[in-house]
Structure 1
Amino acid sequence: RINQLIMSALPMLNINVGILGHIDSGKTSLARALSSVFSTASLDKHPQSAARGITLDLGFSSFTADFPPDVDASVKAKYSGVQFTLVDCPGHASLIKTVLGGASIIDLMILVVDAKKGVQTQTAECLVVGEITSDRLVVALNKVDVFEESVRDEKIRTISAKLANTFNKTKFKGCAMLPVSARPGGADSQALDADDEPPIGMDALKSTLLALIPEVSAKRESAGSFLFAVDHCFPVKGVGTVLTGTTLRGEARVGDSIEIPHLKVEKKIKSMQMFKKPVDSCARGDRLGICVAGLDAKVLERGLVCAPGTVPTFHAAVVSARKIRFFKSAVRGGSKFHVTIGHSTVMASVQFFGDVPKSGENALVDGLQDMSLDGAFDAKKEYKFCEELLTEAEAKQMAEEAGAVDDSDPASFAKYALLEFDQPITVPTDELFIASRFDTDIHQNTCRLAFHGRMLRHVNTEHEPDFIRNLRVFKMKSREGSIERVQDERSVIGKGMFKKESDLTAFIGMKVWTSNNDCGVIEGGFGKSGKYKVYFSNGIKGEGSGKLILRFKKFVFEHGRNGGSKMEQGGLE
């Protein structure tokens, strides 16, 4: 009896399961078949969802279970059981931003695949989202009831083999694939009636989810300041405003102060509920409603709530960047992309850059290792400007075709990006992001997700107006001229490097090299035809071809004293 009282007082371990897939693959029916409790933002509550027969927003429901035997004893000591919160994500192409917003809160993912149609466009995009945001995937091969029982097993084996070939090319190689039918003979949008045939394969699917609990709980920690993703907000007369959502990190208790950062408003937590049961606190992964007083529910439909002062507003960010290999178009600097961070999607212009290439035979290996998304950003270092972001395979192929890593190659090994947002954005500084091209025709069979990464350094241009212009990102430039005549053993007159109208002021004092590697310094112009005088302190020893070569770094964001781009030659000797 005492043990029962203790267990009833313990919270449930909440596991957030994202249900993703192509439109009409049966996601909502699957969530309904698995669920026993539905939240205020449950399945197809959006006003148009029932009318149109498709999911238009995130839907939330849940079911509970006892811990499997192999869960660590320390986890069982803290929780009375496990609650699976099912996040039903829309499958229509135009609603992928909603899917990306939901992806930030999930612990594992169920990818629903229509057994008859296989992988479709949004199936592939959801798989990309899963690769970026989740380490665990279960495939629900839905609608297997469409196959006659006499050939069903054979059909399932055939489609499973085809799907395995697809998943073997991803991080989810060897993932579990389960044949199910969430609503035998019915449409995805219809509620389950008592007379309907029972769903197929739900027990096996639940068992598979339970088997993944040790992996999820091992990575679950509540470190960091409180951060809560709000997906629904509504008033309760005489009580206050309820914010429903998921705890992304940290902990909070009734009575704590919280901030709605994009509104710059602080409120105290009056009460909390998890699926209609009152609780005193919440931790990472928990799905709950938080009640506050004095907040107009109309000003916040979805967004973030946090510990006061922990989520900034900023206008630009330095991020790590990795191209999504399924994106077929070039990802070029100077372009604009839709950048999604949590529930926020804003337009941003992008410029790419990477570490200065290393020389020697290990340069290619080092360069590929440096493409990792991990690590801090050092604003004091110099970085090389990159015209284009490549996948690792594309970068390796380009380097191999060139025979070596070419320091002058403008597209080698981009690792970072500067994102400049069209409007200020309020998000945590270390969050994952996905950049997309949603202006692409949704009817084309193509992936619109272009690149992804993590926020490394946020920039509030009002407080740091010089940060961007002080970024040490350069392009390698070179000019070539020739010796017109030798004045004496140390001085020559050069031509062909500058136009006659060029202002040589910025180039005075720069070094030039002959084809024999003799080094001289530009002393100034000579006449008005673009000629210039070069002084060689050690004289000209060789009898080269008479070429003069000027190599320098032209900084992309920094400006020199004359107002043009800053130019330097440090490290080029």
Structure 2
Amino acid sequence: MKQDQFIIVGTAGHIDHGKTTLVKALTGLDTDTHKEEKERGISIDIGFAPLTLPDGRRIGVIDVPGHERFIKNMLAGAAGIDLILLVIDANEGIMPQTREHLHIVEMLHVQKGIVVLTKIDTVDEEWLSLVTEEVREGLGKTVLADAPIVPVSAYSGQGIEELRTLISDMAKEVKPREINAPFRMPVDRVFSVPGFGTVATGTILAGNVKIGDAVEIQPTGEAVRVRSIQVHGETTDRAQAGQRTALNLVGVERSELSRGYVVAAPKVFKASRLIDARFRLLSDSPKTLTNRMRVRLYVGTSEVLGRVILLDRDEMEPGEDALIQIDLETPVVCEANDHFILRTYSPMYTIGGGVVIDPHPNRLYRRNRQHILEDLEAREKGGPHARVIQILEDEIGLTLSELATRMKATQDQTKIWLDELSQKGEVVQLPTSGGFVTRQSLHDLLDEIEEKIRAHYSRERYHSYAAKAQVLSQLSKKLKPKIYDAILELGARMNRIEVQQDRIKIAGYEVSLSLKEKQMMQEIVKKFRDQAFQPPTLQELTAAYKGQEKMLQGVIGLLKEQNTLVEAEEGILFSSEIINKTPAILAELSGEEGFTVAEFRDRVGTSRKFALALLEYLDRIKWTKRIEDRRVVIVTNF
């Protein structure tokens, strides 16, 4: 175990099998702190104590209640356990709550385990040998089938040092938690300290926290600050994943926080009322699981009511596993790969557990849809790469830092995943924005953009371009303008679309005109070219093509779109060929004092209306600048 690696050891087992007494023998502390626990002689809630290992390092111990009435408290404590001590009374052997706790340990995927036979001072060697054999046989098909069995007496101290040494050795084999990931600590206790305020305790599942950090309470989203930190009752300036931690929080009242809430890095985690998951119904479950059955979900330190949606069947038999959705009645904070437990609503008993595939699905799925099941299976098996793909398909254009936040991973690790996906062609980086898009999303978007442009063509047959903004507003996915522009740029590079300022068209598309329409176009272009600075008005053109107004309007619009005609002012058009001759005329007119509208009018032989319209257009495109009643040329290189 590395110097900066911390783990949590937890107890499990039937009521009155000696869990709390064992913890006291190991740590020197009594974890039963409630008055009722002292009076009744049983643990009601989870308890905590630091354990000093033989090499001097300290780890946390969580003692859980064994009584079936307090399973929900046991589950709150089990959420952060790395190594389990399954406690079995040598007099009684495996009992009902032993099995239920063992199921919970298996379903939460606790990494390592030790079987501890307690109260050996009350049995003889022959009985101890018999019980040990029965326990080994009883655990034969469980996760603890090969776990070491250690006989101890908490009263005489027999076996305690051997157990402490074994814990130390096995702790070195526990996979360390990710300390560089975003900070997350499910809350298991909340209390107030006079003069200090609200204190929340829990096991840090990932990341680290230090004094002064801004953190967030979920699911409320309330922003708070860490005033002070304690680990195992000792004040420290920081704490990290794997440590039992108490945080003194500024900005939240005791009444605003409770078990099941999460203290986390700001703007990283969010609560959900819908979860995609893989679930296994226990082989010894007393009943089947039916679609829409009401259950209790336990994840982290939360207990939340919800209904199970069976995606591919109407009923689950004991021992089966399936892909499910859980429709929750209140929001809960969890992440992909978090393990959870389900218990029946009433009467309460454990029926199974599973792992979260997606903590934020977009919608309730329709049942018995093969493509939905295949997608969930792909994400389940694909690991972080599949998760990256899913996130980028949901939120197109996320940057590296934004994606790392969604992945709850470091930027360095996220970049490795992106590079691997990019090499396989599954992810593409967007130009300019720096964001990313999946190859599939990119092609789907470009297909939809082309579809919207074609729909525009069908409505406006004289248009070869559509307005960028109009197409953006019609897309099924809401894109930020900069992401949309980047998608269009990629589409242009792929020769699928052409972009011209605020307009887009399908690459190579040209409006198909009849012979009559082509003839009208040629005639109109000639009229504007011949009449130069005294162009025909729309009224004159309408009179010339009486009875063909719709065609005229379409042809004029197409000529404007092609920039053959330029609308200097509403209703006043000039040939772009004529406008392009203007710079030479302006150069002649413009001396140090500039020129007037009248001087320009007389020079080009037009009316004041047309001269003024053209000059104001040139002002707008910044070829000229008006100063009082004169204009000067401000662009010399035309």
TM-score normalised by the shorter chain: which range applies?
Answer: 0.5 to 0.7
Q: Distance in 2 between matches of 1:282 and 1:307?
A: 13
Q: 1:313 to 1:146 in 2, by over 3 A?
A: same
- The TM-score, its normalising length taken from structure 1, stands at 0.60
Task: Give the match for residue 86 of structure 2.
Answer: 111
Could you list the per-position Cα deviations for residues 230-279 of structure 1 after superposition, in whole angstroms to 9, with x for gaps in the alignment?
Answer: 22222222233222221111111222111111232111112212123222
Q: Distance in 2 between matches of 1:18 and 1:56?
A: 15
Q: Paired residue for 2:242, among 285, 288, 295?
A: 285
Which structure 2 segments of 5+ residues have no match? 372-638
Shift of 1:452: 1.4
Task: Give the match for residue 154 of structure 2.
Answer: 182
Could you list the per-position Cα deviations for residues 56-78 of structure 1 after superposition, in whole angstroms to 9, with x for gaps in the alignment?
Answer: 110001221244xxxxxxxxxxx
Task: Give the match for residue 31 of structure 1.
Answer: 23
Task: Give the match for residue 316 of structure 2.
Answer: 389
Q: Distance in 2 between matches of 1:91 and 1:157?
A: 25
- The TM-score, its normalising length taken from structure 2, stands at 0.55
Task: Give the match for residue 137 of structure 1.
Answer: 113
Q: Give the RMSD, CA atoms, in angstroms.
A: 2.4
The secondary structure found in structure 2 opposite 1:415 is strand
Amino acid aligned to 1:166: G
Would you say the 8 A contact 1:335–1:350 is kept in 2?
yes
Task: Give the match for residue 59 of structure 1.
Answer: 47
Shift of 1:12: 6.5
Task: Give the match for residue 357 of structure 2.
Answer: 456
Could you list the per-position Cα deviations for residues 21-49 of structure 1 after superposition, in whole angstroms to 9, with x for gaps in the alignment?
Answer: 1111111111111114x5xxx61223421
Could you list the per-position Cα deviations for residues 384-419 of structure 1 after superposition, in whole angstroms to 9, with x for gaps in the alignment?
Answer: x2122346xx66xxxxxxxxxxxxxxxxxx531011
Which structure 1 segments of 5+ residues have no match? 1-9, 68-80, 184-197, 354-384, 396-413, 442-447, 476-573
The secondary structure found in structure 1 opposite 2:332 is strand
Amino acid aligned to 1:200: Q
The secondary structure found in structure 2 opposite 1:468 is coil
The secondary structure found in structure 2 opposite 1:157 is helix
Shift of 1:164: 0.6
The secondary structure found in structure 1 opposite 2:167 is helix
Q: Distance in 1 between matches of 2:111 and 2:138?
A: 17
Which protein has the bigger helix share? 2
Could you list the per-position Cα deviations for residues 119-151 of structure 1 after superposition, in whole angstroms to 9, with x for gaps in the alignment?
Answer: 11100001111112212111111111112xxxx
How many residue pairs were aligned? 368
Shift of 1:435: 0.9
Amino acid aligned to 1:31: V
1:89-108 matched pairs, under 5 angstroms: 89-108=64-83
What percent identity do the matched residue pairs reach? 27
1:362-511 matched pairs, under 5 angstroms: 385-390=312-317, 415-437=322-344, 439-440=346-347, 448-459=349-360, 467-468=363-364, 473=369
The secondary structure found in structure 1 opposite 2:284 is coil
Shift of 1:91: 0.5
The secondary structure found in structure 1 opposite 2:7 is strand
1:202-217 matched pairs, under 5 angstroms: 202-216=160-174
Would you say the 8 A contact 1:316–1:458 is kept in 2?
yes
Q: Distance in 2 between matches of 1:306 and 1:471?
A: 34
* Structure number, greater radius of gyration: 2
Would you say the 8 A contact 1:332–1:388 is kept in 2?
yes
Which protein has the bigger strand share? 1
1:46-85 matched pairs, under 5 angstroms: 46-67=34-55, 81-85=56-60
Q: Paired residue for 2:310, among 352, 356, 370?
A: 352
Q: Distance in 2 between matches of 1:458 and 1:86?
A: 29
Could you list the per-position Cα deviations for residues 155-189 of structure 1 after superposition, in whole angstroms to 9, with x for gaps in the alignment?
Answer: 11111111111111112222111111223xxxxxx
> After the TM superposition, which of the residue ranges 288-297 and 420-429 deviates more from structure 2?
420-429
Would you say the 8 A contact 2:223–2:251 is kept in 1?
no
The secondary structure found in structure 2 opposite 1:160 is helix
Would you say the 8 A contact 1:115–1:143 is kept in 2?
yes
Amino acid aligned to 2:10: G
The secondary structure found in structure 1 opposite 2:104 is helix
The secondary structure found in structure 1 opposite 2:172 is helix
Q: Distance in 1 between matches of 2:42 and 2:284?
A: 26
Given the alignment of the two structures, is residue 160 of structure 1 paired with residue 132 of structure 2, yes or no? Answer: yes
Q: Distance in 2 between matches of 1:232 and 1:430?
A: 24
Which structure's relative contact order is higher, taking Cα pairs within 8 Å and 6+ residues apart? 1
Task: Give the match for residue 540 of structure 1.
Answer: none
Task: Give the match for residue 485 of structure 1.
Answer: none
Shift of 1:289: 1.5
Shift of 1:103: 1.2
Q: Paired residue for 2:266, among 308, 315, 340?
A: 308
Q: Distance in 2 between matches of 1:12 and 1:416?
A: 37
> After the TM superposition, which of the residue ranges 24-33 and 342-351 deviates more from structure 2?
342-351
Would you say the 8 A contact 1:272–1:280 is kept in 2?
yes
Q: Paired residue for 1:230, among 182, 187, 196?
A: 187
Shift of 1:54: 1.1
Q: 1:350 to 1:438 in 2, by over 3 A?
A: closer
Would you say the 8 A contact 2:85–2:115 is kept in 1?
yes
Would you say the 8 A contact 1:13–1:83 is kept in 2?
no
Q: 1:214 to 1:471 in 2, by over 3 A?
A: same
Shift of 1:90: 0.3
Given the alignment of the two structures, is residue 221 of structure 1 paired with residue 178 of structure 2, yes or no? Answer: yes
